[in-house]
């Protein structure tokens, strides 16, 4: 039953997801991405900045500087009185931000907050951020300790691309299956764009253009989507000469930001704001780091168990496509009907800006469920070093079409 203490979503937005720009071409800055979504989020529900009691921002590659960037962006958009913090759970960082703000609301610590995810992979590259990884001391202890030691080494020494190869080999997922999954992602994303299904969630990526009447909704498309997918089966393996993971069946390196405004049901109803969705549950699970891509296969059941629901009760899933191998495995393992998964395409077509992805998937899921008239939805992704994260959201049918 609905409770006044429920954490509900009253505003969603995201920038376009744009492929990484290499120097000397100009690229968006982290600050630009953040100020765009923060200012748009509060303007969409006519909230004064003083209503926001806390902001949590997910980011992966920004390092310690991300906290300063986040603070500057919040001061510029909401004022110095509004606090902010950053969180890093790798690919689930944006979703972790949503969960953190929702938990603050449900516990009564705040009434309203913003959950943001962003990544500027043009300027903060994975190579510069991670380098060769940390040093880990080797242990010659007993068998259990040796097993733990082996897993800990896998967590830092197995490249992401190799984890995809490991999943494909272990679960017998062929190159042809991976390429077909990728082609489907591009086709669904192209169709969604053609039918203007992203219009509601998208904003221009430059703050200076937000009030420019010549900028129309959807005028800055997600530019990784390929209409012509004929080259995908011809691309060489990217991580092993005998492998099946390629640039065509992996997620793209992308810039982007997304923002979710949450508040208590009590506050939303008192302000007569449309309730776009309710936060229901969140779960994070651990999996072997060598096959980290299977994370959603364990995290989704864990998140649903809290609600008493089954996979078959869910209307739509947004599962991050880090690699076709792992996404296909998770969908097949959980026996999810294809027509319920990533109906508007996924990260293989649109890109995977690491810290942004979790929040972006929430935005896209809420918008699509609202467009369809409501229902139960799940957002999930694998997480580097061997984890999975999943969140259950409910788009309430009585409010589902409000402003969507």
Query: Which position has the token pair 């020494």?
Result: 157
What does each C-alpha distance from 97 to 93, 228, 345 come to in angstroms? 6, 36, 23
Q: How far apart are CA 215 and CA 155, in angstroms?
A: 45
Report the greatest alpha carbon distance in the chain: 68
Q: Is 91 a catalytic residue?
A: yes
- What is the Cα–Cα distance from 205 to 30, expressed in whole angstroms? 11
Q: Show the tokens assigned to 125.
A: 């590259």
Residue 352 annotated as catalytic: yes
Token digits of residue 289: 């780091």
CB atoms within 10 A of CB 396: 18
Set 13, 259, 261, 382: catalytic member: 382
- Other Cβ atoms within 10 Å of 53 Cβ, number: 18
Catalytic residue among 45, 91, 112, 261: 91
Distance of alpha carbon 41 from alpha carbon 344, whole angstroms: 22
Q: Which of 120, 352, 356, 391 is catalytic?
A: 352
Going by their DSSP bridges, the two strands 84-87 and 112-120 should be labelled as unpaired
Cα R_g (the chain), whole angstroms: 20
Looking at the annotation, which residues are catalytic? 91, 352, 382
């Amino acid at each position: 039953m609905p409770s006044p203490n429920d954490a509900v979503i009253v505003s969603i937005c995201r920038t376009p997801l744009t492929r990484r720009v290499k120097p000397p071409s100009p690229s968006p800055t982290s600050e630009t991405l953040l100020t765009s979504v923060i200012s748009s989020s509060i303007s969409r529900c006519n909230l004064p900045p003083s209503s926001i009691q806390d902001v949590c921002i997910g980011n992966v590659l920004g390092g310690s500087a991300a906290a300063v960037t986040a603070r500057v962006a919040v001061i510029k958009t909401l004022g110095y009185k509004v606090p902010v913090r950053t969180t890093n759970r790798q690919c689930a960082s944006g979703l972790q931000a949503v969960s953190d703000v929702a938990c603050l609301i449900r516990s009564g610590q705040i009434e309203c907050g913003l959950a943001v995810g962003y990544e500027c992979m043009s300027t903060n590259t994975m190579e510069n951020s991670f380098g060769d990884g940390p040093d880990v001391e080797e242990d010659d202890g007993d068998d259990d300790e040796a097993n733990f030691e082996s897993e800990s080494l896998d967590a830092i020494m197995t490249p992401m691309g190799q984890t995809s190869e490991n999943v494909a080999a272990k679960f017998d997922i062929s190159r042809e299956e991976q390429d077909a999954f990728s082609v489907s992602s591009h086709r669904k994303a192209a169709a969604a764009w053609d039918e203007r299904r992203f219009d509601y969630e998208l904003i221009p990526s430059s703050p200076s253009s937000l009030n420019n009447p010549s900028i129309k909704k959807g005028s800055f498309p997600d530019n990784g989507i390929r209409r012509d997918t004929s080259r995908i089966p011809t691309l060489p393996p990217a991580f092993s000469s005998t492998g099946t993971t390629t640039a065509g069946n992996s997620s793209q390196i992308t810039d982007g930001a997304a923002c979710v405004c949450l508040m208590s049901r009590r506050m939303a109803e008192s302000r007569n704001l449309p309730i776009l969705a309710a936060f229901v549950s969140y779960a994070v699970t651990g999996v072997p780091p060598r096959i980290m891509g299977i994370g959603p296969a364990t995290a989704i059941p864990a998140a649903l168990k809290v609600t008493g629901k089954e996979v078959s009760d869910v209307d739509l899933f947004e599962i991050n496509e880090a690699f076709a191998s792992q996404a296909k495995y998770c969908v097949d393992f959980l026996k999810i009907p294809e027509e319920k998964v990533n109906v508007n395409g996924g990260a293989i077509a649109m890109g995977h800006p690491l810290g942004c992805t979790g929040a972006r998937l929430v935005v896209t899921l809420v918008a699509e469920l609202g467009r369809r008239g409501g229902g139960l939805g799940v957002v999930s992704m694998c997480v580097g070093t061997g984890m999975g994260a999943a969140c259950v959201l409910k788009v309430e049918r009585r409010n589902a079409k409000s402003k969507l």
